[in-house]
Amino acid sequence: MHPFRAAVEAGDHAALEALLAEDVVFTSPVVFKPYPGKAFTAAILRGAGRVFQDFRYVREIGGDDDRDRAFVFKATVDGREVHGCDFLHFDEDGLIDEFTVMVRPLSGAQALAAAMGAQFERITAEALGSSAESVTSGESAE
């Protein structure tokens, strides 16, 4: 099992973050603009962990030495079934420098967009190093 998959399935956020390059770029399945940087990508992945229920990988595509890998998953978001794929590119040091997520069907993507949108203030605060508690209590994240 690939270390990325093992970290995600174990809910090991520290191990997952250790696999991210400083200059990683995260491309969302529901937002056009990509999100650059390790802090933001790690915060997005923690947010996804909070919104996905019954998350599981069902297939890995690519060999151990491949710099491009795909991880097919299934999950539920607010009662909607989501099928998706994490497409990863690894740099010369073996760290993830591109992280793209695709999901289907449309109803699942819409549920994911709404659930992640509700998390976005907390995600931003986490990425900027602010306390998530201050954000959820209504204080400024700055």
Beta carbons of 17 and 42 less than 8 angstroms apart:
yes
pLDDT tens digits, 2-14: 899 999 999 899 9
**40 domain residue, yes or no:** yes
What is the layout of strands, in order, in the sheet containing 96-104?
A: 35-36, 20-27, 96-104, 80-90, 68-77, 53-61
Q: How many domains does the chain have?
A: 1
Quote the pTM value.
Answer: 0.85
pLDDT tens digits, 28-42: 998 889 999 999 999
Beta carbons of 55 and 41 less than 8 angstroms apart:
no
H or E segment to which residue 72 belongs: strand 68-77
**91 domain residue, yes or no:** yes
**135 domain residue, yes or no:** no
Q: What CATH number is associated with residue 30? A: 3.10.450.50
Instruction: Please measure the distance between the N-terminal and C-terminal CA atoms of the chain and give it in whole angstroms.
Output: 40
**120 domain residue, yes or no:** yes
**What values do phi and psi take at 119, rounded to 5?**
-90, -10
**Can you give the residue range of the structural domain that contains 118?**
3-124
